[in-house]
């Protein structure tokens, strides 16, 4: 399984730099995304892997290209290319979410929307409470500094 995965990664890497970005290339990427959805691989693993690949390639470009302008062009190009690949891979995840949402009954959708809005309200309330607490902490800290500076602290 691991050997097969390494082989597939090697093939993807070779395809990535082949310059042949036809429909078959993107279809293959989408199928890879579907497999990831099917096995239940969370999207953050894919994002982390792409981040690793991006850093690796940029390090190699830094080692090989001395001219700063040329280096920046290569880094920009590879960034765009990896972003397109990542977008196609994660498209399968987005479509799976849409299918799940579309399969919900009318009442389940209403409940889902209510839960989402309620969650946003609670998040906003928690954020507001944290802001108020932070303000009180700053005021209390300032008051303590004031007491120290003017010797108001009783002994």
In tens, the pLDDT along 70-87 reads 999 999 999 999 999 998
In this structure, the chain runs to a length of 155
In this prediction, residue 142 carries a pLDDT of 95
Q: Model's pTM, two decimal places?
A: 0.59
pLDDT tens string 87-132: 888 887 777 766 666 666 777 778 878 888 999 999 999 999 999 9
- Region 134-150 average pLDDT: 93
In this prediction, residue 127 carries a pLDDT of 96
**What are the angstrom distances between the C-alpha of 58 and each of 9, 104, 116, 129, 150?**
18, 44, 39, 43, 57
User: Which of the pair, 96 or 18, is modelled with greater confidence?
Assistant: 18
- Region 8-31 average pLDDT: 86
Instruction: Assess whether pLDDT exceeds 90 at residue 21.
Output: no
Query: What's the mean per-residue pLDDT of the chain?
Result: 87
- Region 140-152 average pLDDT: 90
Instruction: Assess whether pLDDT exceeds 70 at residue 69.
Output: yes
In this prediction, residue 155 carries a pLDDT of 57
For residue 152, give both structure tokens. 């108001």
In this prediction, residue 121 carries a pLDDT of 95
Burial of 61: CB neighbours in 10 Å, binned 0-12, 13-18, 19+: middle
């Amino acid at each position: 399984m691991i050997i097969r995965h390494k082989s597939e990664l090697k093939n993807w890497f070779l395809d990535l730099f082949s310059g042949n970005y036809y429909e078959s290339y993107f279809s293959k990427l989408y199928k890879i995304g579907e497999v990831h959805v099917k096995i239940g691989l969370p999207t953050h693993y894919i994002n982390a892997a792409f981040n690793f690949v991006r850093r690796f390639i940029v390090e190699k470009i830094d080692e090989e290209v001395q001219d700063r302008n040329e280096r920046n062009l290569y880094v920009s190009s590879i960034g765009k290319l990896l972003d397109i690949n990542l977008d196609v891979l994660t498209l399968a995840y987005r479509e799976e979410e849409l299918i799940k949402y579309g399969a919900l009954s009318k009442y389940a959708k209403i409940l889902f929307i209510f839960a989402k809005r309620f969650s946003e309200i609670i998040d906003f309330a928690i954020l507001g409470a944290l802001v108020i607490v932070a303000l009180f902490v700053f005021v209390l800290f300032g008051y303590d500094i004031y007491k120290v500076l003017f010797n108001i602290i009783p002994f």
